[in-house]
A = this chain, B = another copy of it.
Amino acid sequence: MINSMEATARILKALGDETRLRILALPKDGELCVCDLMATLSLPQSTASRHLAYLRNSGWVSGTRKGKWMYYRFITDTTFTGSGLGEEILCYLSTLEQAPKDQESLRDYLLTKDKETCAATK
């Protein structure tokens, strides 16, 4: 369990980007795939995928392949060596202005999403 300044800086560096904050402010129950982000935040596929990769590499999300889909879930309970700080940060993010709009956008999208295909791909 590494609690170094360098590791902490890498984790926090992931948060220095507005798009990634918006991702982390989405509801954390369940999992999101790339197409969910594309639709919810109006992101091109490569941008969505890249941000998820960054979050994965810095320990904020974990990826699970399910068939053609790659699902990402938040692992903030272990981020920052399990101190709870990750959850605190997410809690704060959800109080920000843009968060409710994004969350509603995600809910709307999930209601209409075709279960067999990702409706937002490319």
Residues in A lying within 8 Å of B, measured CB to CB? 3-6, 8-10, 12-18, 21-22, 25, 80, 83, 85, 88-89, 92-93, 95-99
Contacts and interface: CB of A to CB of B under 8 A. Distances in A.
Contact of A5 (B8, B12, B98): B98
Contacts of A92: 8, 80, 83, 85
Contacts of A98: 4-5
A82 to B, nearest CB: 11
A89 B93 CA distance: 14
B17 A9 contact: yes
B13 A16 contact: yes
Q: Choose among A5, A10, A22 the residue with the greatest number of B CB atoms under 10 Å from its CB.
A: A5
